[in-house]
Amino acid sequence: MTRTTRRLIRARMLLLACLFLISACSNHNGTNSPVKNSNNSPTSGTKNESASPNVGGVGESNDHQLKSYTLRFVYTGFPQKDEEEIEAAMNEYLLTKINAKIDLMPIDWGPWDDKINLMVASREKIDILFTAQWNKHAVNVSKGAFLELDDLLEQYGQGILQSLDPIFLAGAKIDGKNYAVPTNKELAAQGGIVYRSDIAEELGIDMTKVKSIEDLDEVYQTILTKKPGMTPLYMKLGETFNAHYIGNFDALGDTSIPGIILKDGESTEILPAYEVDRYVDTLRITRQFFQKGYINKDAATNQTMNNDALRSGDVFSITSALKPGKDEELAIQTGLIGKLAQLPLNVKTIATSETAGSMLAISSTSQDPARAMMFINMLHTDPYLNNLLNYGIEGKHYVKVNELVIKPTEFTKDYNPGSNWMFGNQFLNYVWDSENPEKWNVFREFNQDAKISPGLGFVFDGDKVKAEIAAVVNVNRQYQTALETGSVDVDKVLPEYRDSLKAAGIEKIIAEKQTQFNHFLIYKNL
């Protein structure tokens, strides 16, 4: 057993012990310790393999039968041409399992934040909602948007508790309670770029020499000179060098709330980003790249998705969170099979941003939370339902090579959401024939030797500084994207940004976050 592995195990034990103490102090009745299911490998998806409850005897009506109910499922992603056909197939199956239908409600990334904010504010009746630590999860919890799930998990989520590594649920808690169910996926995180390997080969660019962001300067200059119609680096909101997956910044909860430490560092002093050298240095590098013409000029305002940018054929590289086979997944989604490669630009880390980086919450406006949890449980246990949602209908949107491997058809383009990382248990997923057939074993290996953030397991509670957080979020909307895409002069705009943040109350937020974090560290080190 390696030293890093021992550290990971120790960190898991400390994290679980710490959160148990916090829960006890909150008079929270804990559930029984879940049993880890050692068999996480994908299995054949037939309609008879569901581990979900049958209709009879599970509902809350007087006759103990579940009444018909339609679940409204909101998640981020581009609407698919054959979405209604998938809905119909899911409905046929779900009616036999939990007497439910599904209303798939994907929202494109561009308008996602605004539409979710409106849904939460207007108390729109929805059932299941994608959420993440980096997507205002803690803020929405503080607004009462999501239900606390511990009792629902115990009653209707036993498949989740048996298959999901306990560190995911423990690391996603807020005040000792779970308000969303994490996706069962890779635990470590890494960031870098995905690039056109065929173009690099054509131009004789040796990407193995690139070890840092600075090393990309020569690469992008070559692209600009020899491929004048191609954008060397495509950027947009949240997809920059300073995004959490490349900068290795740990926001200790919701990334919209200021105050960070370094996931790959040792310091536990929380600082605003403008006082972190790595952040400011990266702003300056990005600005230089923008001025040299490497970055698309509309980076601060463009909402075109990275996949669409790559699909256009006019983009050499994008920034991206990385995992094993990320380039192969993007190649399938963009029609660039065999033409993409990935390049890490930081060290692997494990932080709360990973344990809570992709989750499904149950809205507090849901008219049937139990049914919603049954559905989420099925996404974690039922190979047929999981793969139907992720890949569509066998024989049309894909064909099987064997029980675990599939290949595309002419209709794959009509349903290929590429959202596996959002839905339940990724280890139930098929593997495309262009991917590594050992993909899921590689995922497990990927978690080894990752740097553990000092903040693993901590999630900031912003309830005491709600007003300041709201004011800071407004300031960020005005300045952050422009700065992080290199679209404005750093020396001129960063001081203005800093002063506006201070006026909005950032120092009060940092102080409160530090106080809570110090208490967390005391428990962790007991």
Q: Does 38 lie in the same domain as 82?
A: yes
Q: Does 172 lie in the same domain as 107?
A: yes
The answer to whether position 472 is within a domain reads no
* Predicted TM-score (pTM) of this structure: 0.70
> Number of folded domains in the chain?
2
Residue 165 is predicted with a pLDDT of: 86
Domain stops at, among 393, 421, 452: 452
Domain containing 391 equals 3-186+354-452
Residue 55 is predicted with a pLDDT of: 38
Residue 72 is predicted with a pLDDT of: 98
Q: Does 230 lie in the same domain as 131?
A: no
The answer to whether position 253 is within a domain reads yes
The answer to whether position 521 is within a domain reads no
- Contact indicator for 231, 111 with CB cutoff of 8 Å: no
Residue 12 is predicted with a pLDDT of: 52
Question: Residue 321 in 3-state DSSP?
Answer: strand
Domain stops at, among 303, 327, 347: 347
Give the N- to C-terminal CA distance of the chain in Å, as an integer: 24
In total, the chain counts a number of residues equal to: 526
Q: Does 337 lie in the same domain as 239?
A: yes
The answer to whether position 522 is within a domain reads no
Q: Does 266 lie in the same domain as 233?
A: yes
The answer to whether position 314 is within a domain reads yes
Q: Does 221 lie in the same domain as 363?
A: no
Pairwise CA distance, residues 280 & 25, whole Å: 40
Residue 298 is predicted with a pLDDT of: 95
Token digits of residue 480: 């952050």
Question: Residue 331 in 3-state DSSP?
Answer: helix
Q: Does 83 lie in the same domain as 115?
A: yes
Residue 241 is predicted with a pLDDT of: 92
- Contact indicator for 26, 176 with CB cutoff of 8 Å: yes
The answer to whether position 389 is within a domain reads yes
- Contact indicator for 302, 178 with CB cutoff of 8 Å: no
Q: Does 225 lie in the same domain as 276?
A: yes
Q: What proportions of the chain, in percent to the nearest 5, are helix, strand and coil?
A: 45, 15, 40
The answer to whether position 458 is within a domain reads no
Q: Which residues of the chain have pLDDT under 50?
A: 1-9, 13-14, 16-46, 48-64
Q: Does 161 lie in the same domain as 45?
A: yes
Span 128-147, pLDDT tens digits? 999 998 888 888 998 999 99
Q: Does 404 lie in the same domain as 341?
A: no
Token digits of residue 101: 């239908």
Q: Give the CATH number, domain containing residue 267.
A: 3.40.190.10
The answer to whether position 171 is within a domain reads yes
Q: Does 65 lie in the same domain as 14?
A: yes
Q: Does 104 lie in the same domain as 162?
A: yes
Residue 526 is predicted with a pLDDT of: 66
Torsion on CA atoms 367, 371, 373, 377, rounded to nearest 10: -160
Pairwise CA distance, residues 139 & 462, whole Å: 7
Domain stops at, among 452, 486, 516: 452
